[in-house]
A and B are shown apart, each in its own frame.
Chain A
Amino acid sequence: MKYFFQSAAIFTALLLTLFSSCKNERTLPIYGPRETVSVKDKNGDLQVDTVYQTIPSFKFLNQDSVYITNKTFDGKIYIADFFFTSCSSICPIMHRNMKTIYEQYKDNPNISFLSHSIDYKYDKPAVLKKYAKKLGVYGDKWQFAYGSKEDIYKIAEQSYLTAVIEDPSQKEIYVHQGWLVLIDKQKRMRGAYDGTNPKAIEQLLKDIPVLLSETKND
């Protein structure tokens, strides 16, 4: 009887640890370089804060010939990729997979899609519009971006960490990686998934709800 309360207390403590560990939710890593800065908190004390790499401001024309900027994606998570409409190698697979995700989240206003064309010569907004229609994409949930070579190639390599090359010796002239890049509400890169790999797509489908629930609490 002497040890009853003790053992009961230990048992409760154990139970509590168990439950709290269950609540530990999975979070996605934050990619890209980061730096620390000293900032004063509201009491005037110095604190260390981490500054993560974010997608810089941009301005592209979309498939409706309307300018889209980084503000278009404010308050949303989005999936970005690089493609071109006449591509017959990896783009069809990437967009076949992206379309599946798009269909699944069609009615969720917190997620968007952004495909940049790297064929700055041919993929004018009208061509992108035709492509979107044929893919079965209407409205502004999935944006197709047209911009200058300089802007698109720079943002691809420096911000979305996706290699894109114009190589006239290749059959299709443009060469690019097939990453589907997951961006959070603070415009930080939270994941990159091989858009041609079914396993990677499965992982992306698991990670989207994690990121959606995370940003809900902010």
Chain B
Amino acid sequence: MTKRNAFLILIFFCLVGAILYSCQSAGKIEQDMYYTNGRDIYIKNCQNCHGANGEGLADLAPPLTDTIYLKAQKSNLVCFINKGMEGTLIINKKQYEGKMPAFPELADIDLAQLIVYVTNTFGNNQGMYKTSQVFEDRKNCK
């Protein structure tokens, strides 16, 4: 009888484990959806200059692999993409100067998806970035 009980207990824990695991991934599923859509937006708008692997283009376009920079600037990314950028940057300890064109045609949801993609690929792993956050961060654009 103890053998049967042990077996039942094992099944019970497996079930609980499965339930917990699927609960955890509810948020992850949303992030994955953002990520996949963001990838398409990246290919269409960004890849020309920043490269298929986020490697940049010589000294013309900086790479997107500097996780520390991306993390520090995360609340400014919306403005960078939406309004364009100009001036000098230090990325991966290397100086870049020039101009990035603005992408005013991207909607809040597009920007959120794009930011989720960029900040979770090319060696970055920074988690979810919600559409509502785009609305907040946009208020601080210069």
A residues lining the B interface (CB < 8 Å): 86, 88-90, 92-93, 95-96, 99, 131, 133-136
Interface residues on chain B, size class: 10 to 19
> B57 to A92, Cβ gap below 8 A?
yes
> B59 to A136, Cβ gap below 8 A?
yes
> B49 to A135, Cβ gap below 8 A?
no
Q: Does B101 contact A (CB under 8 A)?
A: yes
Q: With a CB–CB cut-off of 8 A, which chain B residues contact A90?
A: 48
> A135 to B60, Cβ gap below 8 A?
yes
Q: In whole Å, how far is B3's beta carbon from the nearest beta carbon of chain A? A: 61
Q: In whole Å, how far is A105's beta carbon from the nearest beta carbon of chain B? A: 17
> B101 to A88, Cβ gap below 8 A?
yes
> A134 to B98, Cβ gap below 8 A?
yes
Q: Which residue of A lies closest to B102 (CB)?
A: A171
Q: Which residue of A lies closest to B61 (CB)?
A: A92
Can you list 28 contacts pairing A with B, beta carbon distance less than 8 Å?
A86-B99, A88-B48, A88-B49, A88-B101, A89-B48, A90-B48, A92-B48, A92-B49, A92-B57, A92-B60, A92-B61, A93-B48, A95-B57, A96-B51, A96-B57, A99-B58, A131-B60, A133-B59, A134-B58, A134-B59, A134-B60, A134-B98, A135-B57, A135-B58, A135-B59, A135-B60, A136-B58, A136-B59
Q: With a CB–CB cut-off of 8 A, which chain A residues contact B49?
A: 88, 92
Instruction: Give the distance in Å from the alpha carbon of A134 to the alpha carbon of B88 in the complex.
Output: 14
Instruction: Give the distance in Å from the alpha carbon of A133 to the alpha carbon of B57 in the complex.
Output: 12
Q: In whole Å, how far is A100's beta carbon from the nearest beta carbon of chain B? A: 11
Q: With a CB–CB cut-off of 8 A, which chain B residues contact A93?
A: 48
Task: Indicate the member of B51, B58, B60, B98 with the most A CB atoms within 10 Å.
Answer: B60
Nearest first, the 7 A-B pairs at minimum CB distance are A134-B59, A92-B48, A92-B49, A134-B60, A136-B58, A135-B58, A88-B101
Instruction: Give the distance in Å from the alpha carbon of A136 to the alpha carbon of B48 in the complex.
Output: 17
Q: Which residue of B lies closest to A94 (CB)?
A: B48
Q: Which residue of B lies closest to A89 (CB)?
A: B48
Q: Which residue of A lies closest to B97 (CB)?
A: A134
Instruction: Give the distance in Å from the alpha carbon of A12 to the alpha carbon of B61 in the complex.
Output: 62
Q: In whole Å, how far is A214's beta carbon from the nearest beta carbon of chain B? A: 32
Per-position 1/0 for B37-60, Cβ under 8 A of A: 000000000001101000001111
Instruction: Give the distance in Å from the alpha carbon of A135 to the alpha carbon of B49 in the complex.
Output: 12
Q: With a CB–CB cut-off of 8 A, which chain B residues contact A99?
A: 58
Q: With a CB–CB cut-off of 8 A, which chain A residues contact B60?
A: 92, 131, 134-135
Q: In whole Å, how far is A143's beta carbon from the nearest beta carbon of chain B? A: 18
Q: With a CB–CB cut-off of 8 A, which chain B residues contact A95?
A: 57
Instruction: Give the distance in Å from the alpha carbon of A86 to the alpha carbon of B61 in the complex.
Output: 12
Instruction: Give the distance in Å from the alpha carbon of A90 to the alpha carbon of B58 in the complex.
Output: 16
